[in-house]
């Protein structure tokens, strides 16, 4: 039986958690020859190398694209990735999420007539000021296999006239990684190292340009954090880009002076998951964390005016708060001991298995 060569692409932190379950599943099938390409969009050890080690991703081709303005970064990735495709000649290229690497590698693959599979297809915030929204829409338009995480994705793709035969509702690949990592995460001594106790701290992530690239936004967020820090300890694993902008806009020292905030370097997946599992609540502008907190039943307050993951609100524990200080403080002060949530359909840790089966059938046909 003919072998299937599948080339998978990662570029930024969340991509590693999405691709790791697929790589594990691919290894179970002798028919599949699996190749991983790391574009280097996130180029620091703390943002990539540690995930390669913890998630047991193994050997990979490194493009080392590095930092840069979005257009220049996409251009550099496309040029380097094209050389890999010409050499490797895969049957299918798998891209995940919505980062610059996702769009760049999908475009090159489609231009060379190579089938493209997009994991996490159909998510829409309907906010075109977000680079991720543009990446999502264009990637979906040129992909051959669109793997959807939640019902809103099915509707969005059909509204965009994507043929049904290209759309597959398979569940959430991020939950595969979470399910397989919970046991190892619980063994980490992260809380004691940071000097915090279970359910007595909030976990913060902050990195989106709409929040950290604007002085007015940062001012409002820092003021919000000052209020929250009077109510509970805040643990903030600081994203390198966010630190750069906080310093450039003059808010880094203000943030560091807040009593009761613990600022750490970026954490590995297991350490971060350990913190998330036992947080009182999570304050974030990340998409994936909205999903993970929904599965874990941890209250999540999203510092955005929109979300491309509406199921985390309708069935999960997520609330959009934007930069509304009054609303957020009110919600935190009235937090119940238990949050009602329903785990969305097919968020069961078996998404990689479903995707692999579909790709194998498609390649055979």
CATH number of 4-171+347-364: 3.40.50.2000
pLDDT value for 64: 86
**What pLDDT does 42 receive?**
62
- Say yes or no: do domains 4-171+347-364 and 182-333 share a fold: yes
**Could you report the average pLDDT of every consecutive run of 10 residues in the chain (365 residues)?**
90 88 94 93 57 66 82 93 97 96 97 98 95 96 98 98 98 97 96 97 93 91 95 94 91 94 93 97 96 96 96 96 94 85 95 97 81
* Active-site entry in 38, 42, 207, 239: 207
Q: Residue 186: count other Cβ atoms within 10 Å of its Cβ.
A: 12
**pLDDT value at residue 263:** 97
Q: Is 118 a catalytic residue?
A: no
Domain range list for the chain: 4-171+347-364, 182-333
Q: Provide the CATH number for the domain formed by 182-333 in this structure.
A: 3.40.50.2000
Residue 2 has what pLDDT?
Answer: 80
pLDDT at 14: 82
Q: In the prediction, which pLDDT does 166 show?
A: 98
């Amino acid at each position: 039986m003919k072998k299937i060569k599948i080339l998978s692409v990662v570029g930024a932190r969340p991509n590693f958690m999405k691709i790791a379950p697929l790589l594990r599943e691919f290894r179970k099938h002798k028919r599949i020859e699996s190749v991983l390409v790391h574009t280097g969009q996130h180029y620091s050890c703390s943002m990539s190398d540690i995930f390669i080690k913890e998630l047991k991703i193994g050997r990979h081709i490194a493009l080392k694209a590095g930092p840069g303005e979005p257009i220049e970064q996409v251009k550099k990735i496309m040029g380097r990735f094209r050389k890999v495709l010409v050499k490797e000649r895969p049957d299918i290229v798998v891209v995940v999420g919505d980062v610059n690497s996702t769009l760049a590698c999908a475009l090159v693959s489609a231009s060379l007539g190579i089938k493209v599979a997009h994991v996490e297809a159909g998510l829409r915030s309907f906010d075109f000021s977000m680079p991720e929204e543009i990446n999502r829409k264009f990637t979906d338009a040129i992909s051959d296999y669109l793997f959807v995480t939640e019902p809103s994705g099915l509707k969005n793709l059909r509204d965009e006239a994507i043929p049904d035969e290209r759309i597959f509702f398979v569940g959430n690949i991020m939950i595969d990684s979470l399910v397989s990592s919970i046991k190892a995460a619980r063994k980490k001594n992260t809380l004691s190292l940071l000097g915090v106790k279970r359910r007595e701290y909030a976990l913060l992530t902050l990195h989106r340009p709409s929040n950290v690239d604007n002085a007015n936004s940062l001012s409002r967020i820092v003021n919000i954090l000052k209020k929250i820090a009077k109510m509970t300890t805040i643990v903030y694993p600081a994203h390198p880009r966010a630190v750069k902008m906080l310093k450039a806009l003059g808010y880094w020292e203000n943030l560091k002076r807040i009593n009761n905030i613990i600022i750490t370097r970026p954490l590995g997946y297991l350490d971060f998951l350990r913190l998330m599992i036992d947080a009182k609540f999570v304050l974030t502008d990340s998409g994936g964390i909205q999903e993970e907190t929904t599965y874990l039943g941890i209250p999540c307050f999203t510092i955005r005016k929109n979300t491309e993951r509406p199921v985390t609100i309708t069935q999960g524990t997520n609330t959009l708060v934007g930069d509304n200080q009054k609303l957020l403080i009110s919600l935190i002060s009235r937090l119940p001991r238990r949050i009602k949530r329903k785990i969305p359909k097919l968020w069961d840790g078996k998404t990689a298995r479903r995707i692999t089966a579909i790709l194998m059938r498609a390649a055979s046909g």
